[in-house]
Structure 1
Amino acid sequence: MAIGDDLTQLTHSDLPELLKDDISVKVGGTDIDGQVRGKLMSKKKFLSISKSGFGFCSVIFGWDMHDQTYYKELKISNKENGYRDIVAEVDLSSFRRIPWENNIPFFMCSFREPEGTSLSACPRSLLERAVAKIEKSGYGAMAGAEYEFYQFRAPSATNGPSGERNSSATATFLRDNPVDSLPSLEEGMFGYSLTRPIHNQDWYYGVFDACSKFRCDIEGWHTESGPGVYEAALEYGEIRQMADRAALFKLTVKNISSKFGITPCFMAKPRQGLPGNSGHMHVSLVDKKSGANLFARDSPDPNPPFADVEHLSDLGRHFLAGILEGLPDIMPIVAPTVNSYKRLVENFWAPVTVSWGLEHRAASIRLIAPPTCPPKGTRFEIRVPGADTNAYLVLAAILALGWRGVEKKLALPIAPLARGQDVGGEDDKGERLAKNLKDATARFVRKESIAREVFGDDFVEHFAGTREHEIRLWDEAVTDWEVKRYIETV
């Protein structure tokens, strides 16, 4: 039996041949914070569950990113239901091999209820449900992702082999030392440098090559403005595959970097006074049969509501209107941590209002359309998300809000910002987005929230509970800033 070149078309009958030289397989799925959680299993075990799925402890939806159970127990996983098992369903189309682990086979999973129905809080399933809605109309969605992130030099481990430097050593170091004492990979501001990457050449090319081999290909890879800051633009593709690539890109960077004694940081704002880390998402709709871009207009509109949408289709306008109307209600998804809101401040090239514009790089939504790109490249760049976001949730939110705009035939609620016009300035009529996670979550969870309309109550209640947990931990925290400011003077 010959297996075709397109491994996304694998069937269960292909698996024995595909895995004939392997003895084990890795599987994984993402939790609510976007971390890939999984395990290694024997080939025999994998082949026995590849069709049916396998039991996976639901506690990954009952605790936070540091395995601390939520202070308020949530419906999916709690003491009362014994942190029950849910089902991890293997997606054969996600097959790849992990190049830094001797090319061991790897498959992504979506989490289901024990009876097989979609799990409300599973990020991958949330995107699957959003895609299913548009597919009923014969549409598909395409997406791309761009991530900026800092790199820090890991200190030597104190509890491991002498001289060992990895991300675990960084975590240990930060227990006893101030954050500012962690050295950046490089110093100074030097965006698009062709010399700085050569200082760490093996790491730089190691990340790029590993991403290529792991099917989370990078289109562009360069230094950004900031000490040790890099940006990667991932290869554009079908929206569900894009979300997989985004999650696995972060996993790749973390694993490869740790081998080089480097700790990457995807926090939205790691350093005070310096630019934050964005996680911009590009989205378009296409015809499933022809592949034609459905946001592109066949011919320019002679009487557009705004000149910026002269080349944007009616469907595209409704889609844009849907995102604009719903954006304030889904802020915890695009800004999910307490730290996220340190990036979303005025005067840092970050969007702070419900705003849009043709090629406007500071607005919440940048319309990319003719005449600055060919019609087939027409798309929206959603610029609110930071690098700290869960790509599945962000892309599901964009798609769900946009599709709501299409279904309701919403009109654009505000005028575009002119290029050069300040976001948040006097001429910006857009609503100011939430300034902190507490306010954002309260709006997200309220009874009349658009989030409830597009996602359903079960997901909203679960995700809001996870954010309320983050807020409570922050409210109880005593920071270095507070102690330094008040220890002597109050």
Structure 2
Amino acid sequence: MPLTPAHDETKDPVKDEDIPIALQSARGVRTWKEAADWLKIRGVEDIECITPDIAGVPRGKMMPTSKFTSNTSLALPSALYRHTISGEYPEETGDFRYDSRDSDIKLVPDLSTLSIVPWESDPTAQVICDIAGSKGEDVPYTPRNVLKNVLALYRQRGWKPVVAPEIEFYLVAQNDDPDYPLRPPKGRSGRSINGGQAYSIAGVNEFDELIDDIYHFSEKQGLEIDTLIHEEGPAQLEINIRHGDPIELADQVFLFKRTIREAALKHGIFATFMAKPMQGQPGSAMHIHQSVVEINTGRNLFSNLDGTPSPEFFHFIGGMQHYMPKALSMIAPYVNSYRRLTPDMSAPVNNAWGYDNRTTAFRVPVSEPSARRVENRLPSSDANPYLALAASLGCGYLGLVKQLEPTAPSDDTVNDKTIDLPRGLLEAISALESDPDLVEVFSAEFIAIYGGIKRGEFETFMQVISPWEREFLLLNV
């Protein structure tokens, strides 16, 4: 990527070879001095300081770069982490309480995430921020901190998780009336794409220009796409991200969602990460591949030296089987999420595991011993990536430290009529709140806030009368 500053006829242009290597990266710097130079080289005028809220929506502040690099203190109200996806503030229930002072929390920029916002017309940058209290203390209930605290548990044992997310989403025609069902957009052929196009190159080619923009925007931000495919649903795509550190990968998913939406809008269509946007069509998942390595040696903890599966491998799966149904609300966070988790619809409704068995919740792909991993197929794409990774890794961690044993692997189809998971949001929230091990791993404060928000969202949903009710109840009851 050529690095040329904003045009100034009074100065000679800066050549790439004159720019220090540390400042040539598309993503991230180490110090505030490097940040100032990085922004100046690119002629950046404004910077967005963003952080994920409970839903994973970017929140924050925009400011001139001169103000950003002058050690300005950035604050947000703590109530930002207590509102629902619809922007409402639910009633206090259970252990859910509001801060009586609605005190400030601080945005703390993570300079390793500094990158360009490529869809803006004026030179603009973005940086993901952590959240701290007004005196710098830890705030355990914010999503990035929830994940960081789970990783700290691994680090105390000398372990480091490695993850690789796969994100599915739909492209849909623009829709400004929520009473009307969503429909597939028209591709370059002028026709709406049909379902049954899994791995179809022609299906991907229908949206070549949009996908080119996704790749272009991603490259400008230093985001690396491993592969992109067309999935089973009409205009349903999947992006695979190269494996790596959980915080870095959660950051990438957070930014990818924004990037894909912006690229779609540029072409006059919507991109949606709803778990079940279209009736009768497959839902959208965020599958998570997971392994654990020893920090000191880099050895995959899931494999013995002779290449056979280790006891830790089975304990990790045992933890997933035991705890993941109880933590389901963190990976299936909305009423709509449970429409995806239905029998016979290519999404698991069990807590079984198996070798290369896509009907199980936890699949072990075929791999070399050094790459042995467990794929969690339960999360939906509407999940906050930080919380989804925290939930999945937290359950695996509990299996490791408690040495839980899994069931026997499933060889046959297990995605039948039997549902081994909570069937709805309220049931899932109750399961999360009632397990003391999960409360300890994710913090009581987070569980209380998360439960209160989700109950509030459910009550808002219950105020809406659906077409099904009008069709079958209006004249029959």
TM-score by length of 1: 0.86
Residue ranges of structure 1 left out of the alignment (5+ in a row): 155-169, 301-310
In 1, Cα distance between the equivalents of 2:286 and 2:129? 23
CA distance 1:38–1:401, shift in 2 (3 Å): same
Q: Deviations over 1:72-98 (max 9, x none)?
A: 3898984732x3321111101111112
- Is 1:249 the counterpart of 2:264? The answer is no
Contact 1:149 1:267 in 2 (8 A): yes
Partner Cα separation in structure 2 for residue 242 and residue 103 of structure 1: 25
> Which residue of 2 is the match for residue 455 of structure 1?
442
Q: 1:481 aligns with which of 454, 465, 468?
A: 468
**Structure 1 position 114 matched with structure 2 position 134:** yes
SS in 1 for 2:324: helix
Q: 1:70 to 1:286 in 2, by over 3 A?
A: same
The reply to whether residue 376 of structure 1 matches residue 370 of structure 2 is yes
Decide which of 125, 132, 149 is 1:105's aligned counterpart: 125
**Aligned-pair CA distance for 1:483:** 1.2
Determine if the alignment matches structure 1 residue 422 to structure 2 residue 414.
Answer: yes
Alignment partners' CA distance in 2, 1:140 and 1:94: 20
Structure 1 residue identity aligned to 2:55: D
Residue type of the alignment partner of 1:340: S
The match for 2:405 among 383, 390, 411 is: 411
Shift of 1:211: 1.7
Q: Partners in 1 of 2:94 and 2:368 — Cα distance? A: 47
Preserved contact between residue 243 and residue 391 of structure 1 (Cα < 8 Å): yes
Going from structure 1 to structure 2, the CA distance change for 1:468 and 1:184 (only over 3 Å counts) comes to farther
| More moved, 389-398 vs 38-47 | 38-47
Query: Of 287, 294, 307, which residue of structure 2 is paired with 1:287?
Result: 294
Structure 2 counterparts to residues 32-111 of structure 1, below 5 A: 32-49=54-71, 53-72=73-92, 78=98, 80-81=100-101, 83-101=102-120, 102-111=122-131
**1:222 maps to what in 2?**
229
Contact 1:77–1:84 (CA<8 Å) still a contact in 2?
no
Say which SS state the counterpart of residue 283 (structure 2) adopts. Answer: coil
- Give 5+ residue unaligned stretches, structure 2: 1-18
1:70/1:408 Cα in 2 relative to 1: closer, same or farther (>3 Å)? Answer: same
Label 1:488 to 1:182 Cα distance change in 2 as closer, same or farther (>3 A): farther
Counterpart residue type for residue 433 of structure 1: L
Of residues 191, 205, 208, the one that matches 1:201 is 208
3-state SS of 2:314 partner: helix
Cα deviations by residue, 1:192-239 (Å, 9 ceiling, x for unpaired): 222233333211211122122223321111211111111111122111
Deviations 1:109-130 (Å, cap 9, x if unpaired)?
A: 1112222222122100111111
Give the equivalent residue in structure 1 for 2:180: 178
| Structure 1 stretch displaced more, 393-402 or 380-389 | 393-402
CA distance in structure 2 between the aligned counterparts of 1:389 and 1:250, rounded to whole angstroms: 11
In structure 1, what is the equivalent of residue 11 of structure 2? none
One-letter code of the match for 2:319?
G
Establish whether residue 364 from structure 1 lines up as the match of residue 361 from structure 2: yes
Find the aligned partners of 1:194 and 1:3 in 2 and give their Cα distance.
Answer: 38
Q: Which moved more, 1:330-339 or 1:215-224?
A: 215-224
Q: Is the counterpart of residue 436 in structure 1 residue 424 in structure 2?
A: yes
The verdict on how the C-alpha distance between 1:8 and 1:75 changes in structure 2, with shifts beyond 3 A counting, is: farther
Query: Which of the numbers 309, 318, 322 marks the counterpart of 1:325?
Result: 322
CA contact (8 A) 1:72 1:469 kept: no
CA distance in 2 between partners of 1:57 and 1:3 (Å): 38
What one-letter code is carried by the residue in structure 2 that aligns with 1:434? P
Pairing 1:17–2:21 present:
no
For the residues of structure 2 that align with 1:3 and 1:265, how far apart are their CA atoms?
Answer: 37
1:392 aligns with 2:398: no
Q: Write the distance in 2 (CA, Å) between the matches of 1:181 and 1:380.
A: 34
Flag the 1:77–1:12 CA change in 2: closer, same or farther, 3 A. Answer: farther
**Aligned AA for 2:410?**
L
2:241 to 234, 238, 255: 234
Q: Give the superposition deviation at 1:62.
A: 2.3
Q: Quick one: distance in 1 between partners of 2:271 and 2:470?
A: 28
| Partner Cα separation in structure 1 for residue 397 and residue 207 of structure 2 | 44
- Structure 1 range deviating more: 188-197 or 326-335: 188-197
Residue 193 of structure 2 contacts residue 203 of structure 2 at CA under 8 Å; is this kept in 1?
no
Q: Distance in 2 between the 1:461 and 1:123 partners? A: 14
Distance 1:30 1:264 in 2: 19
**Does the 8 Å contact 2:433/2:451 carry over to 1?**
yes
Does structure 2 conserve the Cα–Cα contact (< 8 Å) formed by 1:346 and 1:424?
A: yes
**Does the residue aligned with 1:49 lie in a helix, a strand or coil?**
coil
Mean Cα displacement is larger for which, 214-223 or 261-270?
Answer: 214-223
2-side partners of 1:363 and 1:23: how far apart?
49
Check whether the contact 2:184–2:193 (CA below 8 A) recurs between aligned residues: no
3-state DSSP class of the match of 1:461? helix
Deviations along 1:442-488, whole A, 9 cap, x unmatched?
11112x44321321211111111111011111222211221122223
Which residue identity is paired with 1:89? V
Distance 1:382 1:182, change over 3 A: closer
User: 5 Å matches for 1:302-317?
Assistant: 311-317=308-314
The CA distance in 2 between the partners of 1:195 and 1:112, in whole Å, is: 48
CA RMSD of aligned residues (A): 2.3
Q: What is aligned with 1:212?
A: 219
- 1:38 deviates by 2.3
**Deviation for aligned residue 1:489:** 3.1
Q: Secondary structure at the match of 2:315?
A: helix
- Pairing 1:126–2:146 present: yes
Match runs of 1:143-158 below 5 Å: 143-154=163-174
C-alpha distance in 2, partners of 1:79/1:149?
36
Change (3 A) 1:276 1:328: same
Counting aligned pairs with the same residue, the percent is 27
| Distance in 1 between residues matched to 2:169 and 2:90, nearest whole Å | 28
Displacement of 1:8 after TM fit? Answer: 4.4
Contact 1:3 1:18 in 2 (8 A): no
- Decide whether the 8 Å contact of 1:62 with 1:73 is kept in 2: no
CA distance in 1, matches of 2:384, 2:451: 15
CA offsets 1:29-78 (integer angstroms, 9 cap, x no match): 0000111112211112211337xx52112232121223222233898984
